[in-house]
Structure 1
């Protein structure tokens, strides 16, 4: 059992950390100003320019297969990459990537959707959640009715990331009511020009989701992704791949926040002493460090299991549950250590505070993760004290 990184992994980690420090962190004040004025933190043109800079360093398609021009670094390296990117709140991600389920496209669909997405010419969104069907995917109401060689979609999706900017959506709709959720739901590739519209949903954070409205949107038969009735299997693959990634980025943020708290505690003086000498402050710092370390190894193991071809769903749920709550506890302590200044918009702590709160809801609530974990244990899918394989 070796917990150390290889020399190649260390080199990649250092390079990304330098990129974040030199190219992204200097933009933080600009991002804060833009967001306060109701504008995007960075524009799409600025994002593309940064992605091209990263491409010059070899960072393009971090987890994209080599046949599509990607680096295919694997899940463990992807986790480390997201940790490093999490050290800043600048809304950046490396280019050259596509949603994992888009690789189920047939050859014609790959030309129209997958490859242009990898190249950055198209942008997708994943449309599963509905007003009455969030974690309860069995309650999907979006309908798709066959009419000749087309399907007519009606319904609404909600809280869709990238829904305001995407030019096509991966939409899940009921194609056979008799078969229910498993076997009766199909995924469609639906271009915006086919007639769906998006409506912005204001939130307490900088996440900018959308409601997608479908009114008699006609979709060609050839736009079915995967197989007819196989939609939920694809949906669960998308969700499962994202849970531990969310925590990986939060880990980077938590480490940056903790360092901010340590630096502040050493210089902030009350009653003649730095607050770093106060036990109350020391315990908040110590608890945060321990929880960050615990969340890190739960998450890295979830990524490692994927690289080994193992079923990581139980581990991913534990990562999501513990990591999301860890991030919320850490940012709350860091804000407390900074006192009144932490609550102001002069520092980015309050922004991170709002952002972290979403983690306990996004891609499966705390309650859903607890349900999954308990079910696996009670049904014997996972046994206490045994290594998962």
Structure 2
């Protein structure tokens, strides 16, 4: 399978690489210490189209396919993961639902402002009792005339403190289980919607997540995303669509760690020679390189499948799992290669190491990805059995 990028994508990647390396990374320590992304970086990101990756051109976006989007997100992943999460949350699960399932009226209303970065998107699914068990939602939406009255709460919602547009999952018919869940587009200034406390996290500084509360929050029927009762299916589609993009960001981070580790191994002198000459260091770097290239191949294979309109439930889970595990393995080896320098906060290795850990949890834990993969393998087995008359 050929993953050669078009000249337009190559040019875009080069521009993003230059921006990331020269205008974002120099301020990574500032982001880490202040827990805020400088406004100048946010504004430049908007100007460069980083908030428009998922939006079609007719609504003011870049109109990138999934391969092109992953190519850009790989570059974005090379820097502070708090910044990458703001971008990824907006262009991924925070916006793809409207792009893929929205009505023409919804797209016209929301996508241009989301493409420009004027309005930020967030995805509100997780609740205290509904994380990995996503079907156990307690937030309700009761239809009254031409409105739905929403009550409940969400937590750990990425971008919530800065978001203007929320894709929210709520139960419209408790008797139907997962078929009784509906997705809604809710604007931040809707009466009854309030933002709770901002969580203080181990990593991803600059990317804020918080609780979101709904108290008799009135949402017009025209803000139903997709059809009533299709919210759970919509959520699975949104999450699957975003997993290649998340893996691409993990790829960029892992590749950056490998690059820094190779440089350090050639310049760190021990016993009168670079530590690169030690076989154990060579083995660490070789293992890191194999992981990075395996992830790169899978990211663009899955992205190509998405662009071809293929069903990627299993593959999306695989690439999310691989991306998370590879990033964590590479980060761990990078710390070991850098020794004490890799453990102090003045050097970026420590930051990447902390930031990597959340990738095995958010947008579907590694364990849940394994469950999805196993379930799909079982379905394939059953189909083979039927085909062979077993």
* TM-score (normalizing by structure 1): 0.89
Change (3 A) 1:280 1:80: same
The residue aligned with 1:276 is: 276
Comparing 160-169 with 11-20, greater Cα deviation is found at 11-20
The residue aligned with 1:387 is: none
**1:290-346 per-position Cα deviation (integer Å, ceiling 9, x unaligned):** 011111111110001011111122111111111211100101111111111111111
**1:335-383 per-position Cα deviation (integer Å, ceiling 9, x unaligned):** 1111111111110111111111011111111111111111111221799
The residue aligned with 2:139 is: 142
The residue aligned with 1:75 is: 66
Contact 2:239 2:363 (C-alpha < 8 Å) held by counterparts? yes
- Give the drift of 1:33: 2.8
- Residue 163 (structure 2) pairs with residue 172 (structure 1): no
Change (3 A) 1:121 1:5: closer
The residue aligned with 1:157 is: 154
User: 1:205-216 to 2 correspondence within 5 Å?
Assistant: 205-206=203-204, 207-216=207-216
Change (3 A) 1:17 1:33: closer
Highest relative contact order (Cα 8 Å, sep 6+), 1 or 2? Answer: 2
Q: Which runs of 5+ in 2 are unaligned?
A: 385-390
The residue aligned with 1:101 is: 97
Comparing 95-104 with 16-25, greater Cα deviation is found at 95-104
- Give the drift of 1:74: 1.0
- Give the drift of 1:19: 2.9
User: 1:286-365 to 2 correspondence within 5 Å?
Assistant: 286-365=286-365
Q: Which runs of 5+ in 1 are unaligned?
A: 385-389
- Residue 105 (structure 2) pairs with residue 114 (structure 1): no
Considering fraction of residues, name the structure with more helix.
Answer: 2
Change (3 A) 1:150 1:8: closer
Change (3 A) 1:120 1:381: farther
**Counterpart Cα distance in 2 of 1:18 and 1:349:** 21
- Please give the secondary structure, in 2, of the residue aligned with 1:257: helix
Q: How many aligned positions are there?
A: 374
User: 1:207-286 to 2 correspondence within 5 Å?
Assistant: 207-286=207-286
The residue aligned with 1:204 is: 202
**Counterpart Cα distance in 1 of 2:14 and 2:119:** 31
**Counterpart Cα distance in 1 of 2:325 and 2:117:** 34
**Counterpart Cα distance in 2 of 1:293 and 1:94:** 22
CA root-mean-square deviation: 2.4
